[in-house]
Amino acid sequence: MIELSRRNIRAIRTTIRQSLGIASARRAPVITLRATAKQLQIQAATETIAIECRLPGSSTPECFAVPYEAMAMCEGKQDDPVSFTRQDDTVIVQWTDKGIPQTRSFPATESVEMPTNPAKFTSIDRRFLTAMAIAVATTDTDTDSSRFALNCVRLRGSDGQIAATDSSQAFIETGFAFPWQDAVLIPASAAFTSNDFSGADDVLIGRTEDWVSIQVNSRTLHLKIDKERRFPSIDLQIPTRGSAATTLVLADEDVDFLVMSTKRLPAVQECNAPVTVDLNGVVAVRAAEEDHSNLTELVLSNSRRIGDEILFNTNRNFLNRAAELGFREVYLRNAEAPAYCQDDNRTYVWALLGAEGALHSDSQTTRISSPVTSNPQNHKPGTQTVMTTTQPTSPRPAVSNGVAAAASEPDVTPNLLQQAEALRDSLSHALSDTRDLISLIKRNQKQNRLVETTLRSLKQLEHIGA
């Protein structure tokens, strides 16, 4: 007899479901219960992914498999015991549900064959788990391409790189020490998003000829190496940071507003969830229905651009994802080339939708602005914000020796910077107010014309009545 608590069964079944990507119990593999003198192993596997969960405890050695539905039937949130007993070709499951005894019988099946553990496991940086969770979310698990491994993550030992793409977006993170030099392709598994993996402190990794194995606490995940397909050449598509003509600088204060508000903008259900981003006088994100009705504009009051003005279309989900991944600078070469974000170890890049059909603001646009904060984002060293208004700027003071001037007048630069920032904010608000005033004037003019037309019609009716 093998005994487990209902709570343990619930946690283990969740791990198995997430790791193997089980969508329904009918298509789920059997679960093997393997008791040894020192521990209990619960195992499940598909052709490309296998997962093992271990629980401490001594028991009489025995091994048998039960259907996935047997575990689903008796799981719970309580610590009540569940017993699995094999009698000939039948497994009898017994437990108590709210004080009422429950018994179910299932045919015993052959135990699953698990991959062999690597001869050695090597410790790896814990951020590997976070990077893998992001990479898995960047793959295309819905399309099974026979040519490109879009549902796989590439682990390259030569430069410690993790890479993933679904052909529309790509994520790369470097700086890992893998115990191999070549590149291997492993299937994407949602195990990395589970509580078992995401909350782990220690991570071990190893490899055999056919499998990559990741060990986290009492869980071991085996991922079969794809040796038939190839990975897209995304390294050649990653531009260098200096190639950008424009940089969108997102303020921390605008991120939540951007992510939450774009989910409520028009056309969110359309293919590619398109929005137009306008980096001109302000940072604006626009969306409209397919017939260009209900045009709505979000103004990111605390964000700014560096470099050339640009108007581009993008999938709002990719823009939001870049912000949620912690990137605050989006680099753009033009309105057609892919947008990209980079930091010390990570790169995120996605394809834009093309400039055709970009949305422009008009008098009927519904405009919503994020709250203005009192502490705008500071400039990064070595960058220069380009003025984005048509107002003339104050001439720069001429100095013959910049170093000497800085030494003799140490307070001038901070004061000028504060004045420039205040001027920028003032001009931004003035531009927004001017647009609102123009819109109001146009509406009043339209109403006046309507009144005049109505009066003329009434006068004509008076003549007809006479």
**pLDDT tens-place string over residues 208-237:** 999 999 999 899 999 999 999 999 998 888
What pLDDT is recorded for position 400? 31
- Give the chain's mean pLDDT: 83
Q: Are residues 291 and 303 in the same domain?
A: yes
Beta bridge partners of 50: 45, 222
DSSP state string for 58-92: ----EEEEE-HHHHHHH--SS--EEEEEEETTEEE
Same domain, 90 and 223: no
- Both 155 and 14 in one domain: the answer is no
Q: Give the residue from 82, 107, 132 where a domain finishes.
A: 107
What is the total count of domains within the chain? 3
Give the best-scoring range by mean pLDDT among 172-181, 238-247, 384-393. Answer: 172-181
pLDDT at residue 1 tops 80: yes
Q: What is the pLDDT of residue 443?
A: 61
In the beta sheet, which residues pair with residue 32? 43, 65
Q: What is the mean pLDDT of residues 377-395?
A: 36
Residues 281 and 180 in one domain: no
> What stretch of H or E contains 434?
helix 412-465
Highest mean pLDDT among 69-73, 314-318, 357-361: 314-318
Strand 122-123 relative to strand 161-165, pairing: unpaired
CB within 8 Å of 212: residues ≥ 6 apart: 155, 184, 186, 205, 206, 222, 223, 225
* Residues 277 and 189 occupy one common structural domain: no
Domain boundary residue among 236, 262, 278? 236
Distances (CA, A) of 47 to 55, 114, 222, 341: 24, 10, 11, 36
Give yes or no for residue 89 having a pLDDT over 80.
yes
List the one residue out of 320, 326, 327 whose CA is nearest residue 275.
320
248 and 258 assigned to the same domain: yes
Kindly state the tokens that stand for 325: 């991944």
**Arithmetic mean of pLDDT, 451-465:** 47
Of the pLDDT bands very low, low, confident and very high (cuts 50, 70, 90), residue 131 is: very high
Is there a domain that residue 57 lies in?
A: yes
Residues 255 and 371 in one domain: yes
Query: With a threshold of 0.85, does the pTM exceed it?
Result: no
Let me know whether 250 and 228 are in one domain: no
> Which of 19-33, 303-317, 373-387 is least confident?
373-387
Looking at the fold, whether 378 and 249 belong to one and the same domain comes out as yes
- Average pLDDT for 429-457: 58
Q: How much is the pLDDT for 43? A: 95
Q: Domain with 219 in it: what CATH number?
A: 3.10.150.10
| Shared-domain flag, residues 311 and 263 | yes
Residue 255 lies in a domain: yes
In this prediction, residue 417 carries a pLDDT of: 53
Q: Which domain holds residue 216?
A: 122-236
**CA–CA dist 61, 433 (Å, integer):** 78
Virtual torsion, Cα 142, 147, 152, 154, nearest 10 deg = -160
Please write the tens of the pLDDT for every residue from 252-311: 999 999 999 999 999 999 999 999 999 998 999 999 998 888 999 999 999 999 999 999
Q: Both 260 and 320 in a single domain?
A: yes
Task: Give the pLDDT band (50/70/90) at residue 433.
Answer: low
